Amino acid sequence: MEKNVSEAINLRRSVRIFKKTDIDKEKVKQCIYNGSLAPNSSNLQLWEFIHVTDKEVKKKITKACLNQNAAKTANQLVVIVVRKDLWKQRAKGNANFLKQQLKEGIISDKSYKMALKYYTKLIPFTYSDFFGILGIMKSFIAQLTGIFMPMFRQVTSSDKRIVCHKSAALAAQNFMISMSAIGYDTCPMEGFDSLMVKKILNLPSKAEINMIIGCGIRDQKGIYGPRYRVPFKSVYKSI
C-alpha cells in the first residue's frame, strides 16, 4: 500500500547497503517522472535523469563513486544531470507552449505577450554570457539598479549554476520521496569523480552531475544509525 507524503518522508533514509533484491525498473521510471514534475526556476527544466540498469555501466559508475557501498550494492542508479547549456532550447519550448495555449484560448493575449517577453527577452539577458564577462557587467547593472529599487541580483554565470543545481535537487527530492512512498529506498551520493561519470555516460562537457542516487531495498545493516536532527526550535523562526 502506497504511503502518504508524511509517511514517505519519515520512512526515507539514506541507505548505504541494499539487499540483493531486484526492483521494478518501470516503477523507478515512474518515480523519475514524478521527479520531473518538481518546481524549477523559470520552468526551464535544465535537467536530465539517467536511469542506469545495465550491470556493466553500473559497475563503471560504482568505481567512479569511489566504490562506496551505496553504489556497489544498489540494484539501480539514477544520475541527476544539470543541463544549463540547454537554456535556449528549453526557453523556446516554453514559448511554443505559450503560443499553443493562446491558440486554444487558454490564456489571454495580454498574458501571452508578457510571458513571451519573459522567455524571449529576460531569459536570454539572464543566461547569456561570454567567458564570464557579460555576467560581471550584468551584476554591476543589477547592483546599481538595486540602490533605487528591489532588484534580482543573482545574474552571473556562477549564480545561474547555483540556480540550476537547486532546481535539480528539488527534482531529486521528488524522486526519492516517490520511491519511499512505494517501499523502495535510496541514497543520494555526492562523493564521485564527476569527469569519469560524464565520460562513462557520454555527456557533453558543459553538463554537470548534481548527484547520483543508489536505489534498492534496504538491508538491515543499510542504515548506519538513528536519524539525528538538530532541535527543530533552533532552525525554525516565526515572524
Domain ranges of the chain: 5-85+159-221, 87-153
Confidence of residue 4 (pLDDT cuts 50, 70, 90): very high
User: pLDDT digits over 25-70, tens only?
Assistant: 999 999 999 999 999 999 999 999 999 999 999 999 999 999 999 9
Residue 196, φ and ψ in degrees, nearest 5: -65, -45
Of 125 and 102, more confident:
102
Q: What is the mean pLDDT of the chain?
A: 95
For 67-111, give the secondary structure using H, E and C: CCHHHHCCCEEEEEEECHHHHHHHHHHHHHHHHHHHHCCCCCHHH
Q: What is the pTM of this model?
A: 0.94
pLDDT at position 98 over 80: yes
Range 5-85+159-221: architecture per CATH: 3-Layer(aba) Sandwich (3.40)
What is the Cα–Cα distance from 125 to 90, expressed in whole angstroms?
Answer: 15
* Over residues 209-236, mean pLDDT: 96
> Which grid cell is 33?
517522472
Give the full edge-to-edge strand order of the sheet including 185-189. 47-52, 76-82, 208-216, 185-189
| pLDDT band at 170; cut points 50, 70, 90 | very high
32: which 3 cell numbers?
Answer: 523519475
| Contact between 197 and 212 (Cβ < 8 Å) | yes
